[in-house]
Structure 1
Amino acid sequence: MAALFSTRPFSGRLLSLMVALLGLTCPAFSASADQDGGNNMQFPWDKMRLPRHVIPVHYDLLIHPNLTTLTFSGSAKIEITVTQQTSSVILHSKRLHITKAAIEAGAGGARSVQEVRVLEHQPFEQVALLAAEPLRPGHSYTVSIHYSANLSESFHGFYKSTCRTQDGELRVLASTQFQPTAARMAFPCFDEPAFKARFSIKIRREPKHLALSNMPI
């Protein structure tokens, strides 16, 4: 079962989420992103700030936490616009294992999808999606990324926590803290205040479990 959260435009940071869960099942994936310099490929960006010619418009997120294995998996579909020709999309990702990525162009029956290669640059917490065909200015695209990760042991990103009921029973929950730069630990994103976008979020859970948000549900 999925709980849907639709949000208004949010400036700079994603909403906070808290999911009280007691035993979901979730597949674990291995990383497919190449480390910086793997196979003699150079990371196509050398600055800490992201380039400004790829702009996110809307995020469609599905996140599936598993409090049994202390992991989570997810998918992100990010609508972007391009202001100058480029063969790469640079965004933030930290401790996420990307298993599949693609870029979709066009609309209706004219849609085309191309698989992309993923490079990772850990010092700047960035990943690059390398497209075989250049993205053209003035066009809109959809970036699709599937990934998995461990829940954080700190109070940053998407992390594991606990609480006690009035009867003293210990419960496990997953919560988020994205400020100032920890949204990238929950899903690949343009994790800078200048990149404002809309979000639609689904949390996969069982009916007996509860998902809370600080934005309208």
Structure 2
Amino acid sequence: MSESETLPSVFKLKPAKSTHDVQFFPESGELIAGIPTKVAFKAITTAGTGIDMKGTVTDPSGAVITDFTSAHLGMGTFHLNAEVGKTYKANITFKDGTVKSYELPKAIASGITLQVTNTESSSANVKIIANEPYFAANKSKSLFVVGTHGGIIYYAAKTRLNGQVTNAKLPKDQFPAGILQITLFSDMGEPVSERLIFNAPKETASVTLKSDLAAYKPRQKV
């Protein structure tokens, strides 16, 4: 065989293994030890489309802490009160029968979180929760809540960390309609927690049409 000759060869390529994935999003960004936290999740296929599933959260001993089911297109939420130093797993069964396990983000030992309930038309309920280590280290220090829309500040308020839980109301009429960013800053001006909420339009256009006649003849001008 000369150097210029080529030999044909046929072989099979193994198809890429189909797999799904789940992303977990703790409210305000992190799990904080000792604070019950809402965790949102989204399950997707390799094509990027949502896939429904159900699952459980287990602690290091294998005990079930909570169970959950997706509500729509693989999306849903569950609550978890994590302990520092423990590794929690989400054990998922997808709609097509595929089973997978995922380690959840580890809880931080000291932290503060911003929780926002956006169910009222006039205001949003804001709850600032500090766990015991954070409160002990930052008691009586100042905190700042800043609300922005499109990078413009529309609301700013100052409070003090006099307890582990602080409640406040955010007046929604001070903001334009759209996505609002609510950020909690420490006394040093560092962002420590953040939430996004939707501010619905306050008014909708109403149009009333009225004709000159109750009925029209064929080809008659309207």
What's the TM-score bracket when you normalise by the shorter of the two chains?
Answer: under 0.3
More strand by share: 1
TM-score (norm 1): 0.26
Larger RCO, structure (CA 8 Å, separation 6 or more): 1
